[in-house]
Amino acid sequence: MLSFDFRSFYSLILKHAKKVEENLTPKKLTPSKNKKCSRESQYLEIPIRSYDTDVFRRLIQFVHSGSVSVTMNTVV
């Protein structure tokens, strides 16, 4: 888990947020063609194809609480 690249994760979320913001911001040049972003496209879905369930549980725990238990068994 410590090798997980949070910068890449942050970059992925930031790109999605900018895309949603662009879709929600009306264009000044073509007001008749403005499309409202659907509610579904505002959510970011990140497929995780291969993972260890314990590592994923610890990742969610860290994201939720900001802390994670590190023991000799969990350090790679």
Domain boundaries, the chain: 6-65
C-beta neighbour count of 46 within 10 angstroms: 8
First to last CA, the chain: 8
Alpha helices (H) along 1-76: 6-24, 53-65
Q: In the numeric block, which tokens belong to residue 49? A: 């194809």
pTM of the model: 0.40
State CA 74 to chain mean position distance: 24
Per-residue pLDDT, 38: 53
pLDDT tens-digit series, residues 15-32: 888 888 887 776 665 555
Segments in the chain below pLDDT 50: 1-3, 34, 37
Asked if residues 55 and 75 have their Cβ atoms less than 8 Å apart, the reply is: no
Per-residue pLDDT, 3: 45
